[in-house]
Amino acid sequence: DTGVSQDPRHKITKRGQNVTFRCDPISEHNRLYWYRQTLGQGPEFLTYFQNEAQLEKSRLLSDRFSAERPKGSFSTLEIQRTEQGDSAMYLCASSLAGFAGTGELFFGEGSRLTVL
Amino acid sequence: SQQGEEDPQALSIQEGENATMNCSYKTSINNLQWYRQNSGRGLVHLILIRSNEREKHSGRLRVTLDTSKKSSSLLITASRAADTASYFCARNEAEDSSYKLIFGSGTRLLVRP
């Protein structure tokens, strides 16, 4: 078990370009979360998957953002037509639902996006 | 804003001293958790306290929860330079079937050697 991994760790892009981030959760975890964190702030919830179903989306997730979790394994977060305000750290976390779960989230190291 | 309130925003102490961070929230919760984040890294879970618990210990960490005041505190005893990091409280709100966490704005702790 190598924990939650995210790729890429850093991405610099020009305004208007599309970017995609990937998250590989801990293999037996059925819940997956995406958060966004700006400098000096705590993480803000973006969206949540249980297995392959996207069950909740924050109003922070504009229509330029889309997330998928095909087959309930890895997840991708795509941002279309990036804006400078999208610059942030995008964090992925996973957890195990049910009585076997402890309630804690396991975070990856994050993908830092800089939009020029 | 999703975020709760944490106090203080920043704390600077000498190695060996104790550090206390406070967290307040407004909703009913299932549990409250504390996480640590080193600069530019992901978050690491420290401790979870359930709504029916009042105090919990883990090594040099002590967490209290007062649901009547909707507040929690994290105490780090005998601090070390390696404790320098940002600390976040995060609540799991009652009746939230996603079990997502709502994070506070964090306390940035500096432990001077």
Dump the DSSP string for A45-72: EEEEEETTEEEEE-TTS-TTEEEE-GGG
How does residue A61 score in pLDDT terms, banded at 50, 70 and 90? Answer: confident
Task: Say what the pLDDT of residue B4 is.
Answer: 63
Q: Do B101 and A45 make contact, defined as CB atoms within 8 angstroms?
A: yes
Task: Say what the pLDDT of residue A102 is.
Answer: 66
Task: Say what the pLDDT of residue B87 is.
Answer: 98
Cα–Cα distance for residue pair B36/A16, rounded to 1 Å: 34
Asked if the peptide bond before residue A70 counts as cis, ω within 30 degrees of 0, the response is no
Please answer whether residues A66 and A3 qualify as being in contact, where contact means their C-beta atoms are separated by less than 8 angstroms. Answer: no
Task: Say what the pLDDT of residue B100 is.
Answer: 87
Task: Say what the pLDDT of residue B3 is.
Answer: 59
Q: How far is CA B70 from CA A31, B38, B73, in A?
A: 27, 27, 11
For A10-57, how does the pLDDT look when each residue is reduced to its tens digit (9 = 90+)?
999 999 999 999 999 999 899 999 999 999 999 999 999 999 999 889
Which of A4-8, A12-16, A70-74 bottoms out in mean pLDDT, i.e. has the lowest? A70-74
Q: How far is CA A78 from CA A64, B102, B104, B109, in A?
A: 8, 23, 26, 34
Coil, strand or helix at B81: helix
CB contacts < 8 Å between A and B, how many? 66
Please answer whether residues A35 and A46 qualify as being in contact, where contact means their C-beta atoms are separated by less than 8 angstroms. Answer: yes
Task: Say what the pLDDT of residue A96 is.
Answer: 86
Using CB atoms, which residue from B33, B88, B100 is nearest to A104? B33
Using CB atoms, which residue from A45, A103, A106 is nearest to B31? A103
Which residue ranges in chain B fall short of pLDDT 70? Answer: 1-4
Q: What are the E-state strand segments in chain A?
A: 5-7, 10-13, 19-24, 31-37, 44-50, 53-57, 65-68, 75-79, 88-95, 106-107, 111-115
Q: Is the pLDDT of residue A99 over 70?
A: no
Task: Say what the pLDDT of residue A71 is.
Answer: 86
| Furthest C-alpha separation in chain B | 44
Coil, strand or helix at A90: strand
Cα–Cα distance for residue pair A80/A64, rounded to 1 Å: 5
Mean pLDDT on A83-99: 90
Using CB atoms, which residue from B31, B33, B99 is nearest to A31? B99
| Touching B: A residues 32-91, CB under 8 Å | 33, 35, 40-45, 48, 50, 55-56, 58, 91
**HSE-up of residue B66 (Cα within 13 Å, Cβ side):** 9
Pairing relation of β-strands B71-76 and A75-79? unpaired
Q: Is the pLDDT of residue A7 over 90?
A: yes
| The total number of residues written for chain A in this structure | 116
